[in-house]
A and B are shown apart, each in its own frame.
Chain A
Amino acid sequence: MERAEVEAKLTDLLVDELGLDRDKITMEATFEEDLEVDSLGVVELLMALEDNFGVAIPDEEAERITTVGEAVTVVMEKLG
């Protein structure tokens, strides 16, 4: 999967599953500050990533994700 494709799919997930405002989602946006995703929202995001991309993301790697772009990078790594 190309990076642009993962970015598009992740953006759709954030809108559909977490109810985020599409206009606010950029690759630089931070989940906590810019998108106001709380701790449970991060858990929901991880579950959505696992379900939709078929990848498992361990907690220690999940803790390093702060921006949308970093989430894309982790998914890309997992997809190999």
Chain B
Amino acid sequence: MRNAVVTGWGKCVPPGVLSNADLETITDTSDEWITTRTGIEERRISHVETSDMAAVAGLRALAAAGLEPGDLDMILVATCTPDRLVPSAASLVQHKMGAEGAAAMDLNAACSGFIFGLVTAQQMIAAGGFDRIAVIGAEKLHYFIDFTDRSTSVLFGDGAGAVIVEASEEDGGVRSFDLGTDGSAADILCVPASGTEGAPTTDRRTVIQMEGPEVFRRAVAAMGDASTRVVEAAGLGLDDVDLLIPHQANIRIIDATARRLRLDPAKVFVNIASYGNTSAATIPIAIAEAVEQGRITPGANIVLAAFGGGLTWAAALLRWGARVEPLGESDADLPESHATGLELMQPNVDLYGKGI
């Protein structure tokens, strides 16, 4: 069996912090309202583009894997907020990483994108055509947020995370997966204007729009059911699961999903308080932090689960390989910035405060 083992991991979160207290100064909300309903205390606001964060996360993951950029043969960037419509963010990432030998493409399955990408990489490696793939989740969501809409402005943040997946005879990699899409519910979580349907107007805006309660309900059911299916498909029971790394959209969704699975809360990885929902980036950022915190041990059975616009849902049973200590450390970093999250949000405040 030609396995696709995760051999490197890395994250890149921009330095600008936007706290709940900051949000209180620009929209009608409160720290108490946000924390009880979402579990989010602060989020990061990027001073650079999506591909900049993605490239740094990718280089850090490469260093952890003990590889050079020239070793990669494919870069998959899961994002719904690319720098440009054309070319892909992945093209820009390839150049910024100095990985000229790698083919590169984007993949958009919204918040489920990283798991879609990881499964794609595993299938490409299993089929024999590729040996070393960087799978990166990266988003600059704040560009698509209307701060006057308090139901969405408090939820999202910017950031990137990456893993390196390598062909190996070692026991590890994606053991089972469950990917799904329900296009009939495309409108309950979307950015309506920014494609061929038309340019932004007062009715059709380039901002995230979401029917919160309906998304909540579907997310809990889909993430719980998909997780159950991948555990069963891998021939395991829920007791065999060492760690659940759920998409970090809302602490209440995470808690409800864990309850639905009857999973011990100690086996659930949560870092939403620090970053909010960074869409396709939440899971790779969480993987990097879980390894750093010693929450992932060699051979661990990890369930990844996500849900997002599309609607899409995804789960995978990822068996971790032997490596839990990075082989190296990258000195790659974002250009320095001392701007606060609030200062970086100012263009949004100026734009949406007046109404488009």
Contacts and interface: CB of A to CB of B under 8 A. Distances in A.
Interface of A: 17, 38-40, 42-44, 46-47, 51
Nearest to B216: A43
A44 B221 contact: no
A44 B327 CA distance: 44
B246 to A, nearest CB: 16
Contacts of A46: 217
A40 B259 CA distance: 15
Interface of B: 36-37, 212-213, 216-217, 220-221, 250, 252, 256, 259-260
A39 B252 CA distance: 12
- The DSSP consensus for interface residues of chain A is helix
A40 B220 contact: no
A46 B217 CA distance: 9
Shortest 6 CB-CB contacts between residues of A and residues of B? A43-B213, A40-B252, A43-B216, A43-B217, A44-B256, A40-B37
A47 B217 CA distance: 7
Contacts of A42: 213
A17 B259 contact: yes
A38 B37 contact: yes
A17 B257 CA distance: 11
A43 B256 CA distance: 11
A61 B250 CA distance: 26
A38 B252 CA distance: 11
B contacts with A: majority SS: helix
A51 B256 CA distance: 12
Contacts of A51: 260
B221 to A, nearest CB: 7
Contact of B221 (A17, A38, A39, A47): A47
Contacts of A43: 213, 216-217
Contact of A39 (B213, B250, B259, B260): B213
Nearest to A46: B217
Q: Which of B36, B37, B213, B259 has the most CB of A within 10 A?
A: B213
A10 B252 CA distance: 20
Nearest to B36: A38
Contact of A47 (B37, B212, B220, B250): B220
Contacts of A38: 36-37
Contacts of B220: 47
23 contacts: A17-B259, A38-B36, A38-B37, A39-B212, A39-B213, A40-B37, A40-B212, A40-B213, A40-B216, A40-B250, A40-B252, A42-B213, A43-B213, A43-B216, A43-B217, A44-B252, A44-B256, A46-B217, A47-B217, A47-B220, A47-B221, A47-B256, A51-B260
A42 B217 CA distance: 10
A22 B252 CA distance: 21
A43 B213 CA distance: 7
Nearest to A16: B259
Nearest to B38: A40
A50 to B, nearest CB: 9
Contacts of B216: 40, 43
Contacts of B256: 44, 47
A73 to B, nearest CB: 22
A47 B213 CA distance: 11
A27 to B, nearest CB: 25
Contacts of B36: 38
B248 to A, nearest CB: 16
A17 to B, nearest CB: 7
A39 B217 CA distance: 12
A43 B212 CA distance: 10
Contacts of B260: 51
Q: Which of A17, A40, A47, A51 has the most CB of B within 10 A?
A: A40
Contacts of A17: 259
Given A40-B37, A43-B213, A44-B256, 5 more contacts: A40-B216, A40-B252, A42-B213, A43-B217, A51-B260
Contacts of B259: 17
A32 to B, nearest CB: 14
Contacts of B250: 40
